[in-house]
């Protein structure tokens, strides 16, 4: 015994549609319209907010990218000079560099 599934499915769908009252059909249509409008409004109002912490991190990363690479040759030369006793430290220059470093560190803390 063969049965035509297409006709059976069409008949069931027609029965389901007929069982909905006009009020239910209007309500379903309203829900679909509201959902569509809600989706389009959500897409128009989407935005991204970056926290202050993320902004600070971006600033630090850009400053680090601007720093020069480490010169391994210069490091080796300084190590050699220290080992041979030829390296002389300028105390005033060292103090100025330490003070500048401390100021830079305070500036980073105040940006947070």
Quote the CA–CA distance of 67 and 78 in Å, as a whole number.
20
**Residue 33 within any structural domain of the chain:** no
Region 83-110: mean pLDDT is 92
**Residue 85 within any structural domain of the chain:** yes
Quote the CA–CA distance of 35 and 26 in Å, as a whole number.
14
**Residue 54 within any structural domain of the chain:** no
Quote the CA–CA distance of 81 and 87 in Å, as a whole number.
5
**Residue 87 within any structural domain of the chain:** yes
The kind and range of the H/E element at 53 are helix 52-66
Q: Which domain holds residue 104?
A: 71-112
**Residue 112 within any structural domain of the chain:** yes
Number of domains, the chain: 1
**Residue 77 within any structural domain of the chain:** yes
Region 49-69: mean pLDDT is 88
pLDDT in tens, 90-101: 999 999 999 999
- pTM: predicted TM-score of the whole model, two decimal places: 0.32
For residue 51, the SS3 value is coil
> How far from 57 is each of 48, 52, 54, 60, 98, CA to CA, in Å?
17, 9, 5, 5, 24
**Residue 98 within any structural domain of the chain:** yes
**Residue 92 within any structural domain of the chain:** yes
């Amino acid at each position: 015994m063969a049965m035509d599934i297409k006709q059976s499915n069409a008949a069931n769908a027609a029965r389901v549609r007929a069982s909905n009252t006009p009020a239910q059909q209007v309500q379903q249509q309203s829900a679909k319209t509201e959902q569509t409008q809600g989706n389009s409004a959500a897409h128009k109002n989407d935005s991204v907010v970056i926290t202050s912490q993320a902004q600070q991190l971006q600033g630090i990363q850009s400053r680090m990218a601007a720093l020069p690479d480490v010169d391994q040759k210069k490091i080796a030369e300084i190590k050699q000079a220290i080992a041979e006793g030829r390296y002389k430290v300028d105390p005033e220059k060292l103090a100025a560099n330490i003070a500048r470093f401390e100021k830079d560190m305070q500036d980073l803390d105040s940006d947070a």
